[in-house]
Amino acid sequence: MIAEKKYLKPSTIAEAIKFANDFIDDFCFVAGGTDVLVNKFQGNKDISCLIDISNIPELKKVSVLKDKLNIGALTTLESLKQHDIIEERFPALLIAAQEVASPMLRKTATIGGNVLCENRCSFYNQSEWWREAIGYCLKCEGDICIATGGKKACFSKFVSDTAPVLISLGAKIELMDINGCKTVDLESIYTGDGIKPRNVPETAILKNIILPLDIHFKVIFKKLRPRQAVDFTSLTTAVSLSSNGNLRLVVGGCDPKPVVIDGSIDGNLEEYIKKALAKSRVVDNDYYSRKYRRDMMKLFLEESVNELLK
Amino acid sequence: MCDYHLYVLIMTPIIVVCDFYHSKDRLIFFSCTIFFVLMKQATFYVNGKKHSIMVGNHEMLSDVIRNKIGLTGTKEGCSQGSCGACTVFVNNEAVLSCITPALRYDGATITTIEGIANAEGLHRLQEKFVEKGAIQCGFCTPGMLMTALDFLNHNPNPTIDEIKMALSGNLCRCTGYKKIIEAVAEYVKEKQFNSYGIPATIIQLHEVKQRSVGIGRPYIEATKKAQGLADYADDYQIKDALHVKFLRSIYPHAKIDKIETEDALGLFGVRYIATGSEIPVTFGVLPISQDETAMAIDKTRYIGEIVAAVAADTEEIAEEACKLIKVKYSRIKEYLTIDDSINDIGANEKIHEYGKFNNNIHKKAELRFGNQDEGLKEAEVVSKMSFGFEGINHGFTEPHAATAFWDENGLTIITATQVTHYLQRALAKTMQVPLSRVRVIKPYVGGGFGGKGDPFPHEIIIAHIARKVRKPVRVCLTREEVFITNHGRHPSRMTISLGADKKGFLKVLDADIAIDGGAYGSFGVVTSYYNGVLLQAPYKLDNFGFKTIRVYTNKPQCGAMRGHGAVNSRFAVESLIDDIAAKINMDPIELRMKNFLDSNTLTVGHYRITSNGSRESIQKVAEQSDWINKHGQLEYGHGLGVGCGFFISGSALPIIWNELPQSTVHLKVDFDGRVLVTSGANDIGQGSDTMLAIIVAEVLGINMDKIFVLAADTLLTPVDLGSYSSRVTFMAGNAAKNASENLKTEIANAISLKTSIPADELIFSDDRIYSNDKSVDLAWLEAIDIVTANRGAVSVSGKYISPKLGGDFKGAGAGLSPSYSFGACVAEVKVDIKTGHVKIVNVWGAHDCGKALNPLAVEGQLEGSWHMGMGQAMSEEMKYYNGLLVNNNFLDYKIPTSLDTPNIHSNIIETIDPEGPFGAKECGEGALHPVLPAIANAIYDAVGIRITKLPIKSEDVLELIKQKEAIKH
């Protein structure tokens, strides 16, 4: 029997959360849908109820509140550049956003969707039939990780390009669910478990991404991918230097979660890079080999640090 | 017709639709359909028209637009937002409709490609696409136009780089993007001029001045394609058709013990389930490789082979039913690599039973001329290297699709094919009906490149089911299925020795090649030979030999792909030549110039070389790239490389031996003056319909608008062997020329009879027929009145038969062609020595096509070839994991985007072939060969490393640079 399929279009956050709780365990929020819907077609997510939040005006605002910039989660990657304050204060975010997918996808894909983008793996982002043929990996209820040849942990890649930049800028996010609103560090929502890569409550809505305006940053962003458009990242690095001398190295695409190393301008820079490499669990689930991605991580981080110190 | 539907809500997830019909004043309850999926009424204002329709809750906008509203100009190429073909406007902003839920935009204003032109004509950007030759197969065109229009709305004055960026999510496999970018840029420029009050130049599309041949013009169907009005296979909506979905094997090599279909048959809406034993007759494109059945019968030979087919009322039901079929397999040992298959397999089971040896070798091809051992001794410098190449997929943007039905005329199938003729034969064979009961119709085809050049299981299966259920049956493969169906370029490895003397004269070439054929034969026997024989030119070689082994493996089969058989071995040889040049310290262009074969000569393997533009081609690219001042002289990391190539201009021998001409073309002229050209040639986007029209117009001296081309319908058109081996311009073109000359004679004779002016003194030009003294001076229609008087419509036939060619030895027929094309490329690269990343900055290409009948189309073919070659060189590969294709979609299979494509500088070299129509020969495949080695040789020039593995991955380049530096220190 084919399950009942539902499509709901809430017009407020409260309504979206209510719908989510009504269909708990069998729903999915859809913002741009560029990631969620493709996964759904492939049977990665067998979900009957789509809650389309793309029409909630409260989620589309970009505003300055005292010393904070609030970017509504539904702001599309393309439209970020329309906001002068982002261009002025966080140009690396615009660069990162422009490096995501292709222009047409960026018109629909949202920044909220990008930071909550599902982890990817060559052995997971496949059709139902394909995954049956390969013998189902851990991330789809199998017993082992196929990419690593049998490990008991999932190493699906964290692939957001904007999140590493946002984390390097000390971004917080505002989450709303039935219990109200809470603000957490963006970095803190990523679990490092490839199977369940985020610890955001299923029924919660990401409302805002909050960036500090009282601190100034210089950020170097780099991305490795085979083609200059369309491709998900093979390696993303964002290295920031803040006006108070803090250095932050963030690596995406090389671990189930963004790898974050904090340090200071006066610290042992080599040591930071070593730490980042040590913390990244890179496996062969990408166009490029594990070794190459590690080599490039080192290079990108070194170059970024050098550029910042120039 | 149904009078009305009654929707009965029984329980939440199910709607029962009862259809009632009137009959003799009685209301008859007729049918009852259960919808499992809840639907909602939604309203869309599409191109100004209101549509209130039932939409599935999880239905995508592309599906609603194409299948419910019927606007099939919006294409679906990937169903995951990676190709851009489905782009439409919603409330004046572009969206990818294949990943947009339709209900998101209930009440919205939607514009599709069909809504872009208005009563006054095409949008100026559509005209620009047409004029600039930006449209080949046309499948990406609607999406490309919509994306460009949206972008220009936001940025009316973009730079070229901004245009490239804007189009980078729209995949085109035909054009190499060059003409598309030019079209957009020119549109922008024109708009800017217009804003200063300068009127735009309007180009008449059908304007012909004196001649037809040699004038660049858009395809005759280009405006239709620009408007989304050209129907491709999946755009045909044959009423009451069932939909087919396939259950595919999940094991590479396994016995099928049992197939249980009961549960699936019980699903409401399932009409038929077919399994392999129902269609036991084998088929294959080559008579010697009839090794495939439409579905696996006793065992499966690759992951993805079709095991069962479900026909149902909807695609969704068919798909659901497939999941309910239970197949019991017993796995047997699989063979996934060349090494697995070359070795003796002991007591295990072979992939195919036939063959003398206890291994999985499919074909051994070996030819030797002169003495390679002697040659190696004579050579003062020898370069020997081993190379490895991954498999490549054609990557055409239109997925395979077809509809089949049976009626009083037997079977009709509308299908995306390059070879209507061979498909007709395969269907007659497998359906066990006379050839006269099979009609194959080729609609517009969204690219082929060899990938639609075999008869396919899905075509045979739907024909079979349509006969069983007595209803039309349709199928459209998913992109994943297209990749699994494959028939692409063989993964291969080879070791080649090339020797020369110190003056740079080549003395010997010896090649040892192994190619991985996958599970079935396809074109593989030909591929085996082509890998070797197509190395005997463009250089003079007396001591030449090769051995190729093609093996079966338990993977999707490989076959013919653009540049068939010789792309990889050409890469190897051109790399070796570059290496020898470096060893003897000679300019690689000079070395090549010394060794080129002349025109009008024979190769060592008895190929008859007639026209030969090798020298002109290489000189052209050398001059344009400033080779003399740049090669070997640029800074470290920056280099120039050269490569050459040649290719057959149509195989001189037919695949199935018979005495039919290779091409026959019919012409009919009736009282209205229109000339109907009928030809079996398959236009798959390369422009062969236009080519035929140009030739007919040229011979008869009439305007193109008097010519109508009807092609590739096996009921209505005479036999042409199909679009493969780059044969159509040469062979169908010659047949069209012959037919036109015959028609010209008929007309001239009729006028001569009436006027007493000798027929050979009549001139056909500018829509008139006249004598030099103007004593006869007739308008075309007046002449037609004369020739049709008391006779009616005049029909003539023309043909092309290849001359007898080749030597008298086994294997002499491989690669024989009445003519060969030649070409050269220079590539300029920049290598980032820290990352190994290679950026191609420029490609200068030149190709000897004999005579460019339509220079615009020739450039398009060349640019597309170079682009495809760059894809194979830089990023494309078919990656397998235990026999399962990993990168089976347009996101993971890396076809270069507009941003990855360098500046391409195109040069047409004309040598006027003595036997080609007006001197023309092929331009659609041979151009691909030189570009891959040119890139690799440029990397050598830049950083001194030899590339022996494709694709050229940054990590391999980096590793080689490190190794080289380690040796230096």
Q: What is the pLDDT of residues B784-839, one digit of tens each?
A: 999 999 999 999 999 999 999 999 999 999 999 999 999 999 999 999 999 999 99
Cis-peptide into B538, omega within 30 deg: yes
What is the C-alpha separation between B863 and B868, in angstroms, rounded?
A: 9
What are the φ and ψ backbone dihedral angles of B271, each rounded to 5 degrees? -110, -30
3-state helix, strand, coil in chain B (%, to 5): 30, 25, 40
Q: Which residues, other chains included, contact B782 with Cβ-Cβ below 8 Å and sequence gap of 6+? A: none
Chain A positions in Cβ-Cβ contact with residue B871 (cut-off 8 Å): none
Domain at B781, CATH number: 3.30.365.10
**Is the Cβ–Cβ distance between B137 and A71 less than 8 Å?**
no
Q: Residue B921 CB: number of other CB atoms within 10 A?
A: 32
Q: Is the pLDDT reported for residue B251 higher than 80? A: yes
DSSP symbol at B203: P
Chain A positions in Cβ-Cβ contact with residue B96 (cut-off 8 Å): 34, 104-105, 108
Q: Verify that B827 and B934 share a domain, yes or no.
A: yes
Residue type, A207: K
A46: confidence class by pLDDT, cuts 50, 70, 90:
confident
- For residue B776, is it within any domain? yes
The CA-CA-CA angle for residues B533, B538, B540, to 5°, reads 90
**Is the Cβ–Cβ distance between B89 and B72 less than 8 Å?**
no
* pLDDT, position B27: 44
What is the C-alpha separation between B787 and B773, in angstroms, rounded?
A: 21
How far away is chain B from the Cα of A158, in angstroms, using its nearest Cα?
Answer: 17
Mean pLDDT confidence for A266-287: 96
Strand positions, DSSP E, B680-761: 707-711
Determine whether the interchain pair B165/A33 forms a contact, defined as Cβ–Cβ distance below 8 Å.
Answer: no
Determine whether the interchain pair B96/A134 forms a contact, defined as Cβ–Cβ distance below 8 Å.
Answer: no
Q: Is the pLDDT reported for residue B228 higher than 90? A: yes
SS3 B160: helix
How far away is chain A from the Cα of B243, in angstroms, using its nearest Cα?
Answer: 18
Output the 3-class SS for A60-106. Answer: HCEEEECCEEEEECCCECCHHHHCHHHHHHCHHHHHHHHCCCCHHHH
Chain B positions in Cβ-Cβ contact with residue A291 (cut-off 8 Å): 955
Q: Which of B164, B390, B891, B958 to mutate to test the interface with A (most CBs of A within 10 A)?
A: B891
| CA B547 remoteness from chain centre | 29
How far away is chain A from the Cα of B104, in angstroms, using its nearest Cα?
Answer: 7
Which H or E run contains B336?
A: none
Q: Which residues, other chains included, contact A17 with Cβ-Cβ below 8 Å and sequence gap of 6+? A: A176, A177, A178, A203, A204, A205
- For residue B508, is it within any domain? no
* pLDDT, position B22: 46
Q: Verify that B863 and B950 share a domain, yes or no.
A: yes
How far away is chain A from the Cα of B683, in angstroms, using its nearest Cα?
Answer: 30
Looking at B485, B515, B530, the residue that finishes a domain is B485
Average per-residue pLDDT for chain A:
96
User: Which residue of A108, A129, A146 is in closest CB contact with B248?
Assistant: A129
Q: What is the pLDDT of residues A186-203, one digit of tens each?
A: 999 999 999 999 999 999
What is the C-alpha separation between B128 and B148, in angstroms, rounded?
A: 12
Which phi-psi region, left, alpha or beta, contains residue B141 (left: φ > 0; alpha: ψ -120 to 50)?
alpha
Q: Verify that B281 and B411 share a domain, yes or no.
A: yes
* pLDDT, position A19: 97
Mean pLDDT confidence for B871-889: 98
Q: Verify that B329 and B254 share a domain, yes or no.
A: yes
- For residue B91, is it within any domain? yes
Burial class of B666 by CB neighbour count within 10 A (0 to 12, 13 to 18, 19+) = buried
- For residue B543, is it within any domain? no
Determine whether the interchain pair B57/A1 forms a contact, defined as Cβ–Cβ distance below 8 Å.
Answer: no
* pLDDT, position B701: 97
* pLDDT, position B802: 96
Closest residue on chain B to A6 (Cα) = B57
Instruction: Please tell me the total count of domains within chain B.
Output: 4
Closest residue on chain A to B147 (Cα) = A104
What is the C-alpha separation between B478 and B837, in angstroms, rounded?
A: 33
Q: Which of A34, A129, A289 to mutate to test the interface with B (most CBs of B within 10 A)?
A: A129
Looking at B453, B485, B517, the residue that finishes a domain is B485
Interface membership of A39 toward B (CB under 8 Å): no
Taking only residues 110 to 129 of chain A, the set having a beta carbon closer than 8 angstroms to any beta carbon of chain B reads: 122-123, 126-127, 129
What is the C-alpha separation between B956 and B878, in angstroms, rounded?
A: 17
What is the C-alpha separation between A267 and A51, in angstroms, rounded?
A: 47
Q: Verify that B753 and B885 share a domain, yes or no.
A: no
**Is the Cβ–Cβ distance between A91 and B134 less than 8 Å?**
no
What is the residue range of B887's domain? 562-651+815-968
Selection from B460, B821, B436 nearest residue B645 by Cα: B821
What is the C-alpha separation between B12 and B39, in angstroms, rounded?
A: 11
What is the C-alpha separation between B558 and B472, in angstroms, rounded?
A: 30
What burial letters (b/e) apply to B145-178, b meaning 16+ CB within 10 Å?
bbbbbbbbeeeeebeeeebbbbbbbbbbbbbbbb
How far away is chain A from the Cα of B959, in angstroms, using its nearest Cα?
Answer: 9
What is the C-alpha separation between A84 and A65, in angstroms, rounded?
A: 15
Q: Residue B417 CB: number of other CB atoms within 10 A?
A: 31
Chain B positions in Cβ-Cβ contact with residue A232 (cut-off 8 Å): 891
Q: How many CB pairs under 8 A join A and B?
A: 153
Q: Which of A27, A45, A51, A104 to mutate to test the interface with B (most CBs of B within 10 A)?
A: A104
Q: Which residues, other chains included, contact B563 with Cβ-Cβ below 8 Å and sequence gap of 6+? A: B570, B647, B865, B869, B925, B926, B928, B929
* pLDDT, position B10: 41
- For residue B505, is it within any domain? no
- For residue B441, is it within any domain? yes
Q: Which two tokens stand for residue B946?
A: 């030899």
Q: Is the pLDDT reported for residue B330 higher than 90? A: yes
SS3 B102: helix
Q: Which of B250, B877, B888 to mutate to test the interface with A (most CBs of A within 10 A)?
A: B250
Mean pLDDT confidence for B923-940: 98
Q: List the single range of B5-14, B486-495, B941-950 with lowest mean pLDDT.
A: B5-14
Crossing angle between the packed helical segments B954-968 and B928-943, to the nearest 10 degrees: 40
- For residue B513, is it within any domain? no
Taking only residues 124 to 163 of chain A, the set having a beta carbon closer than 8 angstroms to any beta carbon of chain B reads: 126-127, 129-130, 132-134, 146
Q: Which two tokens stand for residue B830?
A: 């920049």
Q: Is the pLDDT reported for residue B65 higher than 50? A: yes
Domain A59-120+156-309 class, CATH top level: alpha beta
DSSP symbol at B721: -
Determine whether the interchain pair A104/B170 forms a contact, defined as Cβ–Cβ distance below 8 Å.
Answer: yes
**Is the Cβ–Cβ distance between B602 and B608 less than 8 Å?**
yes
What is the C-alpha separation between B748 and B737, in angstroms, rounded?
A: 16
The CA-CA-CA angle for residues B344, B345, B351, to 5°, reads 115
Determine whether the interchain pair B169/A55 forms a contact, defined as Cβ–Cβ distance below 8 Å.
Answer: no
- For residue B679, is it within any domain? yes
B196: confidence class by pLDDT, cuts 50, 70, 90:
low
Residue type, B293: T
Q: Verify that B326 and B464 share a domain, yes or no.
A: yes
**Is the Cβ–Cβ distance between A145 and A155 less than 8 Å?**
yes
Average per-residue pLDDT for chain B:
94
What is the C-alpha separation between B746 and B793, in angstroms, rounded?
A: 12
Q: What is the pLDDT of residues B482-537, one digit of tens each?
A: 999 999 999 999 999 999 999 999 999 999 999 999 999 999 999 999 999 999 99
What burial letters (b/e) apply to B838-870, b meaning 16+ CB within 10 Å?
bebebbbbbbbbbbbbbbbbbbbbbbbbbbbbb
Q: Please give the full DSSP string across B22-56, using - where no structure is assigned.
A: EETTEEEEEEEEEESS-EEEEEEEETTEEEEEEEE
* pLDDT, position A41: 83
Determine whether the interchain pair A123/B480 forms a contact, defined as Cβ–Cβ distance below 8 Å.
Answer: no
Chain B positions in Cβ-Cβ contact with residue A146 (cut-off 8 Å): 881
Chain B positions in Cβ-Cβ contact with residue A296 (cut-off 8 Å): 835
Q: Residue B963 CB: number of other CB atoms within 10 A?
A: 11
Q: Verify that B575 and B675 share a domain, yes or no.
A: no
SS3 A259: strand
Q: Verify that B840 and B767 share a domain, yes or no.
A: no
Q: Verify that B679 and B771 share a domain, yes or no.
A: yes
Length of chain A: 310
Length of chain B: 969
Q: What is the pLDDT of residues A82-128, one digit of tens each?
A: 999 999 999 999 999 999 999 999 999 999 999 999 999 999 999 99
Mean pLDDT confidence for B11-18: 42
Q: Verify that B884 and B755 share a domain, yes or no.
A: no
Chain B positions in Cβ-Cβ contact with residue A132 (cut-off 8 Å): 250
Give the residue ranges of DSSP H helices in chain A: 13-22, 36-41, 84-89, 91-98, 103-108, 111-115, 128-134, 162-168, 269-279, 290-309
Which H or E run contains B220?
A: none
Q: Which two tokens stand for residue B894?
A: 């890396």
Q: Verify that B939 and B852 share a domain, yes or no.
A: yes
Q: Is the pLDDT reported for residue B316 higher than 80? A: yes
Q: What is the pLDDT of residues B709-730, one digit of tens each?
A: 999 999 999 999 999 999 999 9
Q: Verify that B646 and B783 share a domain, yes or no.
A: no
**Is the Cβ–Cβ distance between B874 and B953 less than 8 Å?**
no
Q: Is the pLDDT reported for residue B237 higher than 70? A: yes
Looking at B84, B115, B146, the residue that finishes a domain is B115
Mean pLDDT confidence for A9-25: 96
B193: confidence class by pLDDT, cuts 50, 70, 90:
confident
Closest residue on chain B to A294 (Cα) = B955
What is the C-alpha separation between B89 and B130, in angstroms, rounded?
A: 21
What predicted TM-score, i.e. pTM, was given to this entire model? Answer: 0.96
Taking only residues 219 to 278 of chain A, the set having a beta carbon closer than 8 angstroms to any beta carbon of chain B reads: 224, 226-232
